[in-house]
């Protein structure tokens, strides 16, 4: 698949570890969501993309819904 920004075919996949934090006034009271997606990086322009795993996506939805209600 080619890069959506520069159309390069020079891409590699990497395993990652990231922590997603909620940006709400009371975000310190909520733990972040730890995610381990595989990320595709264009080695020419640096554009990156990943898909959120289903379990972590559910956690983000739940946390976002709670922060909107607060």
pTM of the model: 0.69
pLDDT in tens, 2-30: 999 999 999 999 999 999 888 766 656 67
pLDDT (0 to 100) of residue 1: 83
**Rounded Cα gap, residues 52 and 60, in angstroms:** 10
pLDDT (0 to 100) of residue 68: 46
Sequence ranges of the domains in the chain: 11-69
**Mean pLDDT value across residues 43-58:** 92
Closest-CA residue to 69 (of 19, 21, 26, 28)? 26
pLDDT in tens, 31-46: 788 899 999 999 999 9
Residue 54, token pair as written in the block: 């289903």
């Amino acid at each position: 698949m080619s890069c959506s920004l520069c159309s390069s075919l020079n891409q590699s996949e990497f395993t990652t570890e990231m922590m997603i934090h909620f940006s709400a006034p009371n975000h310190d009271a909520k733990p972040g969501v730890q995610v381990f997606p595989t990320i595709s990086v264009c080695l020419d322009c640096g554009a990156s993309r990943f898909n959120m795993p289903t379990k972590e996506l559910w956690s983000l939805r739940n946390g976002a819904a709670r922060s909107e209600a607060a």
